[in-house]
A and B are shown apart, each in its own frame.
Chain A
Amino acid sequence: MPEIILVVAEQREGKLNRVSWETITAGQAIAAATGWTIEAAVVGSSVSAIAAEVAAKKIAKVYAVESSNLEPYTPDAFSVALKGLITSKQPKLVLMPHTYQVRDFVPKLATAMGRTVISDCIGFKHENGKLLFTRQMFQGKLAADVSFNSEAPWFATFQNGAFRGDKAEAGSSTAPVETVNAEIADGVIRNRPQEVFKEAKQAVDLTQAEIIVSVGRGIKEQKNIELAKQLADALGGDLAASRPICDSGWLPMDRQIGSSGQTVAPKLYLALGISGAIQHIVGMKGSRTIIAVNKDAEAPIFEIADYAIVGNLFDIVPPLIEEVKKAKAGG
């Protein structure tokens, strides 16, 4: 019997988190490489509709893991429910998207089962019958191929954008859906979550911007942001920033690009003084053209830049603003 790959699709507030399609694509790719079978699970209080959505993909089976105690999400309930499913169905490999929710419970689930998680993977390799998971280390400066040194189940999470959701293969027929009632005893759940909310009214929707000029720590001081703003204005674009700039209060939180902020894919992303930490990259790597200015030639941002300018942004940006204005004035 071939081994089973179990993709745990993410459900939040009754809706499928679309990043789950990327995990299905990853699972299908691993299944193709190894010859293993791919199945999926959806966890929540009443998930039959989401399970049906997932069942349209080319997978062998979907488990709808249900309990009223699974809504709202808590790490205690999700760990117990999935431990039950995994113990019963015995998959070799359990895959999830590396979302904030998954990060909140999958290390707990793995530990409860005496196992380990290789998290935030960007790909995999199948070499001589061995499965290796590739992930970034040192904020993207180096890559690592990591193997499991334990019995099944193996747990791995994939970074946003590591696989393409639109490449998840559809099935020729609907996969069977098996409803599994999760047993979650009283007293298991210790956290009492309240409603999810959005903090401030979002003044600017950066996802709609065609041109973004983004600043990182290289901008050094709050007053220098004015320079980046002038460039953004000259180009007719929007100003954005990496997390540390917003943490410092130099730009409001709704200008933040990255895993905690907005994910954008504009025609042009101009990164000024941004090193390219993973948490930032995941929010902008889909941009059509990336231009990076950084005085450190080894900065990880240059790995994904289409155009690289290794230099001091304070030397580069002022003449750039002039040239842009000249060109726009018909020069």
Chain B
Amino acid sequence: MKILVCMKQVPQKDAPLKLNETAAWIREDVSYEVNEPDAFALEEALRQREKHKGEVVVITSGPARAQQVLREALAKGADRAIHLEDNAFVGLDAFNTAKAFAAAIKDENFDLIFTGLQSDDYGYAQTGVILAELLGWPHATIIMQIEKTESGIKVKRELEAGYFQFVDMPLPAVLTIQSGINKLRYATLIGIKQAKNKPVRKVALAEVQSAIGDNLQKIERLYVPQKTKKTEHIEGSPGEIAKKLVDKLRNELRVM
């Protein structure tokens, strides 16, 4: 099975975010990490390769710093990587990102393409589905299980409120992978060493420029959310906080 995993580098979960001068994006002087849902997608691809043999290729778009995500993926066991390297890729909307990816992989022939179900920075949950439509492939989202079958694959789709659904699909297909589908592995020291020799193909913006266009949507402004709720801070030593809280629970909120 030849599997492509689309991965994104996002600001670290607890990174303090500051708006840039135009307040249309954040200042980039933060620490970055791999988008957690994408880590689950990579882990699933590695497990499928373990079961069915094949190749796992990882792709990302972004500035030089995004290479870290690819290095980690290669260290965990991915076979090779594709880096669409340019600052400009950060500002592309999901539609253009998907178009850039489709252009970059036009000479490959993958059986499966995985993405995480959404990114922790934008949270749109669209890139994988858009990519499927651009490629003309079937897709399924929020996937918790993948099995190979005679006619393709059988996936377990997660729905709300504890419901699930099995779906039979032909290959090739795009799947967006849900967190918790598996347990993430750590890169081993040997893996980190081997990663240095694995191929990383760089794709310049110019190579995919003809495929992308203007963004179809625009962030007019980014801001710290206005609080509509009045939050009361309870302060003091832990013992004081405990007493104040119980007092509120009993006398104000009447839940005790």
Binding site for B on A (CB under 8 A): 75-76, 79, 99-101, 103-105, 107-108, 110-112, 115-120, 132, 135-150, 190-200, 202, 210-211, 235, 243-244, 246-248, 253-254, 256, 259-263, 267-268, 275, 278, 289, 291, 296, 298, 302-311, 315-316, 318-320, 322-324, 326-328
A-B contact pairs, 21 of them (CB 8 A): A119-B126, A120-B124, A137-B123, A138-B11, A143-B226, A145-B220, A146-B219, A147-B220, A148-B216, A190-B138, A190-B170, A194-B167, A195-B165, A196-B164, A235-B255, A243-B180, A278-B123, A308-B233, A311-B238, A315-B238, A318-B238
Could you tell me the distance between the alpha carbons of A24 and B158 in the complex, rounded to whole angstroms?
Answer: 26
Known: A235-B255, A262-B162, A327-B250. 6 other contacts (CB 8 A): A75-B140, A142-B223, A194-B165, A194-B167, A303-B225, A316-B242
Rounded to whole Å, the gap between the CB of B132 and the closest CB of chain A is 7
Q: Which residues of A contact B122 (CB under 8 A)?
A: 137
**A297 to B, closest residue via Cβ:** B233
Known contacts A100-B160, A261-B161, A327-B246; is-contact A149 B255 (Cβ 8 Å): no
Of the candidate stretches B13-21, B46-54, B68-76, the one touching chain A is B13-21
Q: Which residues of A contact B120 (CB under 8 A)?
A: 138-139
Rounded to whole Å, the gap between the CB of B238 and the closest CB of chain A is 4
Among A104, A246, A268, which residue has the most Cβ atoms of chain B within 10 A? Answer: A104
Q: Which residues of B contact A267 (CB under 8 A)?
A: 253, 255
Asked if residues A196 and B256 are in contact (CB atoms below 8 Å), the reply is no
Asked if residues A147 and B179 are in contact (CB atoms below 8 Å), the reply is no
B227-239 vs A, CB cutoff 8 Å, 1 = contact: the mask equals: 1011111100011
Rounded to whole Å, the gap between the CB of B245 and the closest CB of chain A is 6
Asked if residues B165 and A196 are in contact (CB atoms below 8 Å), the reply is yes
Rounded to whole Å, the gap between the CB of A187 and the closest CB of chain B is 11
Asked if residues B218 and A307 are in contact (CB atoms below 8 Å), the reply is no
Known contacts A118-B217, A306-B231, A309-B234; is-contact A324 B163 (Cβ 8 Å): no
In the complex, which of the residues A190, A200, A247, A311 contacts B169, with contact meaning CB atoms closer than 8 Å? A190
Could you tell me the distance between the alpha carbons of A211 and B255 in the complex, rounded to whole angstroms?
Answer: 8
**B128 to A, closest residue via Cβ:** A107
Among A199, A248, A256, which residue has the most Cβ atoms of chain B within 10 A? Answer: A199
Q: Which residues of A contact B140 (CB under 8 A)?
A: 75, 104, 191
Known contacts A192-B168, A244-B179, A315-B238; is-contact A307 B232 (Cβ 8 Å): yes
**A253 to B, closest residue via Cβ:** B162
Could you tell me the distance between the alpha carbons of A262 and B163 in the complex, rounded to whole angstroms?
Answer: 11
In the complex, which of the residues A139, A200, A246, A303 contacts B180, with contact meaning CB atoms closer than 8 Å? A246
**4 closest Cβ pairs, A-B complex:** A247-B180, A116-B216, A319-B242, A190-B138
In this complex, how many residues of chain B approach chain A with their Cβ under 8 Å: the count is 79
B128-148 vs A, CB cutoff 8 Å, 1 = contact: the mask equals: 011011100011111000000
For window 1-42 of B, CB contacts with A under 8 Å fall at 11, 13-14, 16-17, 19, 26
Could you tell me the distance between the alpha carbons of A79 and B140 in the complex, rounded to whole angstroms?
Answer: 13
Asked if residues B121 and A323 are in contact (CB atoms below 8 Å), the reply is no
Asked if residues A104 and B129 are in contact (CB atoms below 8 Å), the reply is yes
B84 at the interface (CB under 8 A from A): no
In the complex, which of the residues A110, A137, A198 contacts B222, with contact meaning CB atoms closer than 8 Å? A137
Q: Which residues of A contact B98 (CB under 8 A)?
A: 111
In the complex, which of the residues A104, A143, A197, A318 contacts B224, with contact meaning CB atoms closer than 8 Å? A143
Could you tell me the distance between the alpha carbons of A101 and B142 in the complex, rounded to whole angstroms?
Answer: 10
Rounded to whole Å, the gap between the CB of A325 and the closest CB of chain B is 10
Rounded to whole Å, the gap between the CB of A217 and the closest CB of chain B is 9
Q: Which residues of B contact A256 (CB under 8 A)?
A: 162
Asked if residues B256 and A100 are in contact (CB atoms below 8 Å), the reply is no
